[in-house]
Structure 1
């Protein structure tokens, strides 16, 4: 496959469809010869389309925590010399771009496609899904940090309850945490099916059309991978990298992510909130960033083709072309 041939990439039996692919790349690419960062490379759907539109001195850096995704990135890098892949989190974006010799204020666009990818969800060995049985892992990078099983079998009951409530907004978090502690006293939690069944039994009221373990699995995954901490760090680094006219495009898939992105972009586009009566000109208080359009969601045809697109929300922020690249960090 040549760069940009398709939005779908086949890996064994796993098929990954990049959500809002054409819209994201169209809004991201303000110039064809710019430098771009795909902070969540995955299987390269967005990256391949970006490469199709690059010209001249245009370059693309892909970043991903997942070693399997990095292997796909290395294959793409061998196909196209304008692309390089970096193994790490997009929270390491400043280091990743510095390694390429890219300074702050020199990047034309940054794309973040948040959450877990289809290949990760569909592979039972990764432990992300309660739909099939596998080791209770959930790490996007299985070579680093505690697995979900290791954490659940050692954390305090209160900590488990707090994580499930904070990141899953699960109202039965305390009951679930108590069940975890009781279970591990008898036998350690080691598989996704074991954990999903424990949650199912602990939740007294079931939501229609939703598995009882949905919120809990989401919460543990977010915590294990430091997803919201990484998001806040990555957003700040991304806007520092943007050149005048450069854009940050973020696709989120649940309310906790989108809340952070929405607030971050809103605050930057508002600029400093100063008391009335200060002797400053409009230009002196003009915000250095602006929102590009409204939040965009997947179309009905895309949702019919890819059900995981139904919760996607895309937001775009642009550094104004008439401002200097001041750091917000």
Structure 2
């Protein structure tokens, strides 16, 4: 029995076959920066990787893996942490340089399906949303942030057009009753938003997405993770990133565009610009989307987009965060950091 067949997977790895096809032959040491249920890790081991470093900030990910991870022996190493620090984590695991990095950005199916984690408006649970189960929760943000900052989060992270109206209602309601439950917040949004037409998203979808991104600093972590992968990959190493909404995909697209295009960087000491050698070669000119067969097997894959690139031998360079498409609130946070 191969590692990929060791146990039923509650989370189906999205766009797995396109990743394996473009990365073939899969060899050496890979890092799965969003381990989750281990679907990508097991598939990489089955495809030929000699070792996989599985990284996740959610303690429950490794609890779920306990039933099968031992069958992989020393070919699989599980490391607690955020993929934003993947180069440091790989170094601590004695795995540098890496032959490949795969990232599946966003919330997992398991997290959405667990009401007690507070990610979903469809099930009542604590208003939490913390992937690492530490730090300020969604309830903390909703109950303490000023109205303007709440509105900015809903608008910039959720692209919610009614952000100011929703933020105003939250601030009004929390004066008498603090928000502690997911259905409590979803009910407020349902109350002030028009009922969705059949086939349209629930009115709370964008707000919950925005709060989740803010709680977990997901866009900042993505930008840092891309730069960490660039530092960690050997020449010829593969970077594969799966995203699920336009904010994430835009950051990955712009990062790889700039890193693969020999973008010019101005020098303080010379009137001309200094040409940077491309640090990546694109393996996907356009984002790869799920085909009809994958969508039939896994409807949750419908919004997934895959972008891949191969590391060159050019020295790693820090990305210009202003060109990546980070919302201004995320950009301010990364600049302070």
Q: Normalising by structure 1, what TM-score?
A: 0.88
Q: Among 138, 145, 159, which residue is 1:155 paired with?
A: 145
Local SS of the residue matching 2:310: strand
Mapped contact 2:6–2:68 kept (Cα < 8 A): no
Following superposition, the deviation at residue 306 of structure 1 comes to 1.3
Q: Among 34, 51, 59, which residue is 1:59 paired with?
A: 51
Q: Among 18, 34, 38, which residue is 1:23 paired with?
A: 18
Q: Find the aligned partners of 2:11 and 2:3 in 1 and give their Cα distance.
A: 15
Mapped contact 1:76–1:83 kept (Cα < 8 A): no
Other-structure match for 1:39? 33
Following superposition, the deviation at residue 54 of structure 1 comes to 2.7
Mapped contact 2:99–2:233 kept (Cα < 8 A): yes
Q: 1:79 to 1:138 in 2, by over 3 A?
A: same
Q: 1:308 to 1:6 in 2, by over 3 A?
A: farther
1:97-125 deviation line (CA, Å, top 9, x unaligned): 1111233xx21100001111101001111
- Paired residue total: 311
Q: Among 219, 226, 230, which residue is 1:228 paired with?
A: 219
1:42-83 deviation line (CA, Å, top 9, x unaligned): 00111101111236xx21101111111122345444221211
Local SS of the residue matching 2:242: strand
> 1:172 and 2:142 equivalent?
no
Following superposition, the deviation at residue 28 of structure 1 comes to 3.5
Mapped contact 2:2–2:46 kept (Cα < 8 A): no
> 1:238 and 2:232 equivalent?
no
Other-structure match for 2:173? 183
1:169-202 deviation line (CA, Å, top 9, x unaligned): 1011011011111111111111111100111112
Q: Among 120, 126, 129, which residue is 2:120 paired with?
A: 129
Q: Find the aligned partners of 2:80 and 2:113 in 1 and give their Cα distance.
A: 22
Mapped contact 2:34–2:55 kept (Cα < 8 A): yes
Q: Find the aligned partners of 1:250 and 1:73 in 2 and give their Cα distance.
A: 22
Local SS of the residue matching 2:30: strand
Local SS of the residue matching 1:290: strand
Other-structure match for 1:12? none
Instruction: Mark the runs of 5 or more structure 2 residues left unpaired by the alignment.
Output: 319-337
Q: Find the aligned partners of 2:30 and 2:182 in 1 and give their Cα distance.
A: 37
> 1:95 and 2:88 equivalent?
yes
Other-structure match for 1:303? 295
Following superposition, the deviation at residue 24 of structure 1 comes to 1.7
Instruction: Mark the runs of 5 or more structure 1 residues left unpaired by the alignment.
Output: 10-14
Local SS of the residue matching 2:54: strand
Q: 1:7 to 1:20 in 2, by over 3 A?
A: farther
Q: Normalising by structure 2, what TM-score?
A: 0.86
Q: 1:178 to 1:110 in 2, by over 3 A?
A: same
1:237-256 matches, within 5 Å, as 237-256=228-247
Following superposition, the deviation at residue 8 of structure 1 comes to 5.0
